[in-house]
Chain A
């Protein structure tokens, strides 16, 4: 016993001598305050949101005006397009998902985050990974696989970050004082298992499998991202809506059914990417069947979110974002299922239609993240929103932007597919060269529509940035929301 106390005293002395000065020197790098890691992640996502919209706007402009900044190789359309996709996926959406998990899991488990310091370090590391991946893609370092563009050193770092997030979350869950793993926790825990497993399997297989075989893995990776972000979005909504409306989730059963059916149906959606392409018919049929089955979780989730929002009162502006995003997400699953059947796929497959489906999903995830930011940031910073009226404006502008882009691209896909088919049937020179130019001219108004939608989304992000900045600078002060209410222990292992 005495020996143990001596050892403890020695450790304390070493800590006082070496660790504490370091912590005092870098208080922002190694924070201990509650919600520090969540704040870092949410603010980082906000910054990447701005970077993303600038890249996306430039990309959309280049598609309408191809001569726009065409002198520089690093700003060529192909490189910018890859950078744009990856900044959105990892810098904005995954970063936001990490922030959501770091804020929500402790609250629903009634325990502080296992380690704010490690959480903050993970967020700092994730920022470096996203920056490195983006710079490398701009420099032309790409794996050349849609959805898996980042080079392998970045992939390894990203997988390590994902497992780090999982470690922090699971250590928090294991120390919980609330025994019940409720709906938001279930969704988020599952999501942060899906992220590393699917990304690692998809990326680390690329050196070993060539040709069509590689597409099985890349499809698994893409569907894994879709599943994980869907779980984060739905889990966040099931956390925010009851708090914002003051009523419980409309149906716990629907929440459970939605969660289970998402887990078992959504990982297959990667099989729908190349319907009628090279590959096995039975695999296509499996993909189409599971795409149809994904309408089940779409119905469960949309019903539950709408009913929860309608049952409650409250004026939290986040409610609109959560429900609007849920509806767009469910409709995107309907669109994906409809386009995966072989007859429609013969028209709209490999056209702008695919981009339309992706726009709807990513738009829904973006709206979920924005709603979460409006809900969480004032609470964890202890300041009321500076301009709540702007949030309403942001909702309508942002939603209009997503819907206009989504619809424009869907129409462009149908037009493109029909023109190709008519050209093929009439023997016209439509597939390439001068004929393809006719297709480009036909879809140009829709691409201009998409560019206009981008301006709406850009305006929304400016409003978000303005509102958050003003809130942090001069929002009316309130009590920061405690992670753990008074009755529960305030300090749990891993925290100093």
Chain B
């Protein structure tokens, strides 16, 4: 197996690298982008927010809530309690989309259907341990009352049921 071959031209090294990335970009980005399944015409229910909820969403992003909570109900039995499976159009006007990767805490796609009481949500955000003893969620008591209400209001807007 040992030999001294493998002498590559620098152009081949760069060319193969760029070719590999270009193939991925075309098949893995450009083709899905042009797929109607992810466009505005896809079935789903884009969310709309009030000014306070937009403010709450900004705080949700600022505090990195997406690092612990997904907003993505998958096509899996384990996800059924979270609500109907998420569709591309559900995120159509979302930038960033906040799908998340891992669940350190529960999924929040339809949290507004499970909990619509803003005061209860504020209480939970301020001291999660007081609502669920032994909760591993950190306290957000350092946020002002206005900020806490904004986040809670944003969470109540995350619904999956038809209006």
Q: Interface of A with B (CB < 8 Å)?
A: 62-64, 66-67, 70-73, 76-79, 81-82, 140-146, 149, 173-174, 179-183, 185-186, 189-190, 193-194, 197-198, 201, 206, 209-217, 219-220, 223-224, 248-256, 260, 263-264, 267-268, 270-271, 273-280, 283, 286, 345-347, 349-352, 354-355, 416-417, 420-421, 423-425, 429-434, 436-437, 440-441, 444
Contacts and interface: CB of A to CB of B under 8 A. Distances in A.
Nearest to B60: A144
A66 B62 contact: no
Contacts of A249: 2
Interface in B37-76: 37-38, 61-68, 70, 72, 74-76
Contacts of B88: 211-212, 278-279
Nearest to A421: B78
B118 interface: no
Contact of B28 (A64, A72, A82, A283): A283
Interface of B: 1-10, 13-14, 16-18, 20-21, 23-25, 27-29, 32-33, 35, 37-38, 61-68, 70, 72, 74-82, 85-107, 111, 114, 128-129, 132-143
Given A212-B88, A286-B27, A346-B78, A250 B1 contact: yes
Contacts of B9: 181
A337 B133 CA distance: 37
B7 A180 contact: yes
Contacts of B72: 274, 277-278, 350
B150 to A, nearest CB: 14
Contacts, number: 276
B27 A210 contact: no
A146 B67 contact: yes
A73 B125 CA distance: 13
Contacts of A186: 8, 13
The listed residue with most A CB atoms (<10 A of its CB), out of B28, B63, B140, is: B28
A278 B28 contact: no
A61 to B, nearest CB: 11
A244 B137 CA distance: 48
5 contacts: A66-B138, A216-B33, A268-B24, A280-B37, A346-B76
Given A278-B87, A278-B90, A424 B78 contact: yes
A210 B63 contact: no
A276 B76 contact: yes
B6 A256 contact: yes
A78 B129 contact: no
B101 A354 contact: yes
B68 A431 contact: no
A441 B93 CA distance: 36
Contact of A67 (B82, B111, B129): B129
B78 A215 contact: no
B138 A76 contact: yes
Given A351-B103, A431-B106, A278 B98 contact: no
Contacts of A267: 20-21, 24, 28
Contacts of B62: 79, 140-142
Nearest to A79: B64
Contact of A144 (B7, B24, B61, B68): B61
Contacts of B8: 181, 186
Contacts of B70: 350
B68 to A, nearest CB: 7
Given A194-B21, A255-B6, A425-B77, A76 B103 contact: no
A78 B81 contact: no
Nearest to B30: A216
Given A424-B80, A425-B77, A211 B143 contact: no
Contact of A211 (B17, B77, B97, B134): B97
B38 A248 contact: no
Contacts of A256: 6
Given A198-B21, A215-B99, A286-B28, A78 B10 contact: no
A140 B88 CA distance: 28
Given A280-B32, A436-B106, A76 B63 contact: yes
Contact of B10 (A146, A181, A271, A417): A181
A354 to B, nearest CB: 5
Contacts of B100: 146, 350
A409 B50 CA distance: 39
